[in-house]
Structure 1
């Protein structure tokens, strides 16, 4: 998000698990180009940046499949028992088939893997008597998606296998709020980056991120939140939207939480105040004409990284997503029903 106070980009979070909307946002870009052309604004279409997020992400899965080296192996997509975001997932499957018609993908739940999966003598993951080369997680990021020990055992089975995981458990943990907060501590980035310019560039995108451990630093964080709750957002180790605490509720929640062990499962983040624009949000089932609203936007950058503990084989940016919500709404998740997918419109500010 663009932070109005400093007029620089600030990182909201980074996601490594079940990264979605690449398929749908491609369609939004095409739709917005079509609308501009239908209205006769052909000269403005060039201001909509090209977006190949779907092809970029799917190509990453395909490259991992090639690296595994078994042309008969399948790409396994881990899905929920009931999938509400199935259209976005299907776009990836269709794109895989378009890019390489020989690649087969299968959809299974963690429960299915517990019941049907096993490892062979080479530690390859076998499902339905077929070798799995790549496991693409579109589930297993909220507690209700891992309801019993069976599903945990299935996740462990996958992790122990030779299959390339998207993400592996290490990259899954790297996307947690606690790791994001830990990376902002003095001296931590220097463990991973050596060039001072790169370190400074990364630090510039960080907001204030504070832990709530049972120590002096954690107690100071709690006092900051109690003194000025409007300045912060409370975030738990959860994904999927709808879980954060804002405004005066930060103070109320902190008073309840401050003596509980549960507080260590949260981080405190300085609130970003993006610039406000005006526009219309189109929603299915809405009655009457859409109303002009004050809105804020969040830009997501899609990337692909493939590697192991020794070497990074692929590391590139592959597309983007713009998510827009009313400025009065705290949460912005599209799947959670707060935000809407949008398209950037580039302007010259000079």
Structure 2
């Protein structure tokens, strides 16, 4: 099937002089408003460069955008229930645990803490559900994945609509601004953190951000801290690596995590969701200490386990959604956003999935149990990987997912250091909807949708992570279809 096309919000190409002029203004706007990152190749703490962005907002069907927004609280609650269903997590992950050391390490901490007795029953989820448009006549959204460790770019994308409105005005199209939805992801995500802090109920407590040794995505991370400091100057925030947590924190006799003499109310992970972030046992010991404590974790370790691709695949299996949601209209709406997801376990279904992948490799994506982008396998490499793993337990660490081919749209991608002006290229966009949920296994205190992001990449690129340097920040331009 050939890919459909959406029309750009304004006719392209833009005249050369006008294009060069508006790009220069847009780059400066981005730098001056924090749409920026540190350079990985030439790292300098004192230097930032504009983050990759799409010059014009990308068209997205209004009805499908609204559907995604309406579904987010429903999906929040679904994943909350999944995370608190021990039997389901154990059954779903049992085969992956035999071959995926990282997931097994997380799982072992979860079991250990659970057996010792949960000291903090409240979990904070800052979630994001990601979608691509399915290339059909109806152009319906299909879920790419559900991220439980994923408030990345919520801050910077909150500024993208303002930036896009500025660009449209500069190009003489102020009439198009009405088609751009407001995005309050930053304030919404931060309100989730402060709501959890208030539930902890200790005025002297602090919030702890778990960060990498070197933070390239500094603007996005710091904006959360600055927003909380502005709205809640009574709250102290610390930034620590897992290694620093190991060295600088203790657990008191009340199981409070103590940092600089004060209890930690909320631990917000901006690191700790992939193997490279645990280079030694010290990091794992720090993670265990945090999970044992009374601090409210974002995500709790059961949320992180619930966000694995294996769980996503299991939820798409017949009858599984109904166990968590019943058989009402909400269940049908959620099932409608699923694409084909297949287990690669050593059973009849797994063998059938392997055969499908070998026969039509181009139609599928191989996904491991990882966050962070850059880990998936596409195209001919799917066949090579399946042939290599066919008789190995390793294959149980992956799922097979039908590949979604979204509509194309032409546009300009602006990257730091690239030749200017850029060419008109074919692009595809992925919509992410942010959600906040706070609750225990028995009660949900807060559950809401709080904003969105749009990542756009070259149509012939497989991955689209902005932090990984593969995608670009964007903003949706809502259209009636």
Give me the whole-angstrom Cα distance separating, in 2, the residues matched to 1:271 and 1:216. 22
Task: Pick which of 27-36 and 220-229 moved more.
Answer: 27-36
2:407 is aligned with 1:275 = yes
1:155-209 per-position Cα deviation (integer Å, ceiling 9, x unaligned) = 1111111111100011111111111011111221112102421111111011111
Give the drift of 1:113.
1.2
| TM-score after normalising by structure 1 | 0.97
2:159 is aligned with 1:4 = no
2:294 is aligned with 1:130 = no
Match of 1:15 in 2: 147
Give the drift of 1:18.
4.3
Preserved CA contact (<8 Å) 1:52 1:319: yes
Q: How does 1:188-203 map to 2 (within 5 A)?
A: 188-203=320-335
1:43-66 per-position Cα deviation (integer Å, ceiling 9, x unaligned) = 211111100000000111011111
**SS of the counterpart of 1:337?**
coil
Match of 2:419 in 1: 287
2:218 is aligned with 1:86 = yes
Preserved CA contact (<8 Å) 1:18 1:141: no
Match of 2:304 in 1: 172
2:224 is aligned with 1:95 = no
Give me the whole-angstrom Cα distance separating, in 1, the residues matched to 2:181 and 2:425. 24
Match of 2:468 in 1: 336
1:120-166 per-position Cα deviation (integer Å, ceiling 9, x unaligned) = 12111111211100000000011110112211111111111111110
Task: Pick which of 271-280 and 4-13 moved more.
Answer: 4-13
| TM-score after normalising by structure 2 | 0.71
1:82-128 per-position Cα deviation (integer Å, ceiling 9, x unaligned) = 11111110000000011111111100111111112121121111112
Give the drift of 1:39.
2.6
Give me the whole-angstrom Cα distance separating, in 1, the residues matched to 2:323 and 2:292. 28
Task: Pick which of 190-199 and 285-294 moved more.
Answer: 190-199
Match of 2:315 in 1: 183
Task: Pick which of 264-273 and 145-154 moved more.
Answer: 145-154
Preserved CA contact (<8 Å) 2:410 2:427: yes
Give me the whole-angstrom Cα distance separating, in 2, the residues matched to 1:93 and 1:85. 13
Residue among 397, 400, 421 paired with 1:265: 397
Residue among 339, 353, 357 paired with 1:225: 357
Give me the whole-angstrom Cα distance separating, in 2, the residues matched to 1:304 and 1:142. 22
Task: Pick which of 131-140 and 185-194 moved more.
Answer: 185-194
Preserved CA contact (<8 Å) 2:433 2:452: yes
Task: Pick which of 177-186 and 28-37 moved more.
Answer: 28-37
Give the drift of 1:326.
0.8
Unaligned runs of 5+ in 2: 1-131
Task: Pick which of 12-21 and 58-67 moved more.
Answer: 12-21
Aligned residues: 349
Give me the whole-angstrom Cα distance separating, in 1, the residues matched to 2:345 and 2:396. 5
Preserved CA contact (<8 Å) 2:160 2:475: yes
Match of 1:159 in 2: 291
1:236-291 per-position Cα deviation (integer Å, ceiling 9, x unaligned) = 11121111111111111110111111111110000011111111111111113111
Preserved CA contact (<8 Å) 1:18 1:139: no
Give the drift of 1:41.
2.0
Match of 2:71 in 1: none
Preserved CA contact (<8 Å) 2:151 2:189: no
Give me the whole-angstrom Cα distance separating, in 2, the residues matched to 1:102 and 1:218. 53
Preserved CA contact (<8 Å) 1:18 1:137: no
2:378 is aligned with 1:246 = yes
Match of 2:341 in 1: 209
Preserved CA contact (<8 Å) 2:255 2:292: yes
